[in-house]
Each structure stands twice: as C-alpha cells, then as structure tokens.
Amino acid sequence: MKRGHVAIICVLLALSAEPSPKCHKFTGANGKDLYAHLVSYDAKSKKVGLRTPKKGFLSIPIGLFSEADRQYVVEWAQEKALLDDKVFRIRIKKKRQEDKSRRVDNGFDITHYYDRWFEISVENKSGFDFLKVEVEYDVFYSQEELESYEGATKREKFGVRYASFKKDFLRGSKTKMETERILLFDYSNGCNGMGFPDMKGELEGAIFKLHLTLPSGRVVSRTLRLPKSLKRSWTSEDREPHLQDD
C-alpha cells in the first residue's frame, strides 16, 4: 500500500468516533467509519472532498471507500452537475423558416407560412457521460384564424405538441436537438382596414424536461420553461403525440 494511503487511513481511524447528525457516515474499504460532509468530487482525479468536524477539509481517493459510498459520491456529483447550468449548459432558441412555396399574394393581402420550432443546445462540461437521458418537451402554439366570413371576425386556437426520446450527452460534447416543426401562417390585410382582419401564428412557449436514471434507480430531473413566466395549464388531452428518433 502506498505511504500516502496509509496516512489517509490513519486519519479516517482517528476521526471515526465523532458522529454528527448533519454528517454522512462514510465507510472505508477497511470497514471503519468516518462522519463528514461531502463537498466535492473530481471525476478526473477520482478524489473526494470531505469536510470533517475536527480536521476540516480532506481530499481522499474514492477507491478507499466502500462500494456503497463510492456509488453515493458519484451519484451526488452527477446530480449536482446535471442541475448546474455552468456545468451542464442548456440554451433554447425560437426558430422559424418560411415555406415560400405556400405563400399567397394577390396584390392586396398576403399570407406567409412558416415552420416554427425550438432549437435546444446542450454542452456537457462535467466529467461524466450522461447516457440514455430521457428528454421530454411540450411545445405550446397559437394560431389566429377566421371565425366568421360575414362578420370578418377571428378567433385564437391553441395547441401543444409533445415528444419523449432518449439521448446520450457525453462528457465534453456539444449537442443540438430540435423540436417538431409546426406549420403556422401570418395573414396581412392590405385593404386599409376593410375585409378580413390580420391573423398571426406563434410559438407561445415550451417546457423541457431531462430525466437521468442513476445506477441506484433514483431519477434526477431538470425542468426548463421558456419563457420562465409560462403559466398556461395544459392537459394530456391537448397533446398531439409525435415520435422523434435520435
């Protein structure tokens, strides 16, 4: 055994007699217990950072802990990384592209048709590979349309598209995903207020969810709303199921 590891085990033995209700009980590979706060884990160096009531901060190789505590440390670090936007960075943007083949222009009014969707960019700066992460999204949209030809009135209809699929996010990787594209139209009346009213289609927002299943079976979830103020309540009956492959 290396001399440094012998010294660390001696420290573990010296500290094992002072339990604290706020500390986690770690068990070494030698069966001895240590009560400490878990404060960090470096996946590259495999070092666990602990803070003890007596000796302060300790950096200990993860291999010196029991198998159960090694799993506890790694899962703690994975959860912390997934929920930290500086480490697992997620950015969402609205996108649109006109389908010019559908454009209608009679010289007075014009109708543009647009594919609208969200682009999700994910950068994994952690030291972990997140595999088979379940990605879910609800995309909410609205479309104004003509309600009555006689009164030239319009109404607004709402809809939602839903998808769920698995995705791998490898350490150091940058990943881009897209939601399903939704075809909406904008109608503009050029007749100085006479005739039909202007009508627009728009993406109202979205809810994105990531679900990571840890080796213990526990699920860690992260939810993002765009915009953050999105409060509209949607039921499952509103959803139009759509399957998306990797």
Res 241: pLDDT: 45
Q: pTM for this one?
A: 0.79
Round to whole Å and give the CA distance between 72 and 29.
14
CA–CA distance, 6 with 12 (Å, rounded to integer): 10
pLDDT value of residue 40 = 95
Q: Confidence class of residue 10 from pLDDT cuts 50, 70 and 90?
A: very low
Strands 182-189 and 47-52: unpaired
Provide the pLDDT confidence category of residue 196 given band limits of 50, 70 and 90.
confident
Residue-wise pLDDT tens digits, 168-193: 999 999 999 999 999 999 998 866 55
Q: Which amino acid is at 54?
A: K
Summarize pLDDT for 56-74 with one digit per residue, the tens: 899 999 999 999 999 999 9
User: What pLDDT was estimated at residue 111?
Assistant: 92
The mean predicted confidence, pLDDT, of the chain is 84
Strands (DSSP E) along 14-108, which ranges?
Answer: 24-27, 33-42, 47-52, 56-61, 88-98, 104-105
Is residue 23 pLDDT above 70, yes or no? yes
Higher pLDDT among residues 239 and 115, named by residue? 115
Instruction: Please report the domains of the chain, with CATH numbers, ordered by start residue.
Output: 3-77 (2.30.30.700), 88-241 (2.60.40)
